[in-house]
Amino acid sequence: MKAHIVLAHPEAKSFNGHLSDISRSVLRSAEWQHTMSDLYAMDFDPREGAHHYKSRQDAKAFHPQTEQRFNADNQTTPTDVNTEAQRLLECDLLILHFPLWWFGPPAILKGWMDRVFVYGRLYRSTMRYDTGICSGKRMIACVTTGASSDNCAYNGREGDTHLHLWPVLYPFRYLGFDVLQPEIFHGVGSAAFLEGREDGLSTLDTYADRWTISLETLSSRSTVRYNRDDDFDETKRLLPDARAYSPFIRHKPDAMPD
């Protein structure tokens, strides 16, 4: 079995860096092959743009999807993107490590998605959602927040972290992945952590143990529920009798899902 780890944090000594070390060690013990992309260490350029493409279908105006597809068809995808795309296509399990930054992923991770999810190679209209190229693969996001679990709860002032993660995880569903319930460690930015206090350090140890166990028991972890392709009509609206799983795809504009 093969896993690919993606770390989006500028500091290897951060808690996210530590969690990614745990991932590697657990995978090693389980005799999984694995690769890792430490996006900052690689100096991965998250900006999709004309500067990446030597060969262009349209030299006058840069249309990202046109050039992604043209270069994929001609096997001239930029080398950094090609390596990442290949790792996604070869892995059975993808693990993402990132901190929540302004209620979303760090920009480097969003840019990695913008560039690596190559149109024409990783998705096209006939190859997405239920027919996605990554069908049968699993992915899990391991996320840290600075705010406490109460603050990040469904009724917390920071808003529900599970909802903040929906737009981050849905692209992986788009590619066909089985998206496992994310692992979220709250309160990692509190004073207790930053000052290295005993209570902060012991919580980090507890979190590290929890992540180890989560990885070791991944086969029994539930997945995020999404609508299947046949839950939608020909206009791609949710069918009246289909279940709504999130406020992002619901039956009434002003209502929460049942």
Task: Rule CB under 6 A: choose which of 59, 60, 102, 125 binds ligand FMN.
Answer: 102
Report how far residue 10's alpha carbon sits from residue 230's, in angstroms, rounded to the nearest whole number. Answer: 41
Site string for ligand FMN, 155-174 (x = CB under 6 A): ---x----------------
Tokens of 43: 């100096």
According to the binding rule CB under 6 A, does residue 212 interact with ligand FMN? no
Task: Rule CB under 6 A: choose which of 32, 40, 62, 103 binds ligand FMN.
Answer: 103
Q: Name the one range near ligand FMN by CB under 6 A: 53-61, 63-71, 81-89, 141-149.
A: 141-149
Q: Which residues make Cβ contacts (< 8 Å) with residue 76, sequence separation at least 6? A: 53, 54, 55
Q: Which residue is nearest to ligand FMN (CB)?
A: 146
* Cβ closest to ligand FMN, residue 146 vs residue 257: 146
According to the binding rule CB under 6 A, does residue 100 interact with ligand FMN? yes
Task: Rule CB under 6 A: choose which of 4, 8, 9, 215 binds ligand FMN.
Answer: 9
What secondary structure does DSSP assign to 121-190, as a single string?
TTBBTTBSGGG-TTTT-EEEEEEE-SS-TTTTSTTSTT--HHHHHHHHHHHHHHTT-EEBPPEEE--TTS
Radius of gyration of the chain (CA): 19
Site string for ligand FMN, 42-81 (x = CB under 6 A): ----------------------------------------
- Alpha carbon distance, N-terminus to C-terminus of the chain: 38
| Residue 55 beta carbon to ligand FMN: minimum distance, rounded to whole angstroms | 36
* Cβ closest to ligand FMN, residue 95 vs residue 100: 100
Task: Rule CB under 6 A: choose which of 189, 212, 232, 238 binds ligand FMN.
Answer: 189
Q: Name the one range near ligand FMN by CB under 6 A: 11-19, 42-50, 54-62, 213-221.
A: 11-19
**Which residues contact ligand FMN (rule: CB under 6 A)?**
9, 14-16, 99-103, 144-147, 158, 188-189
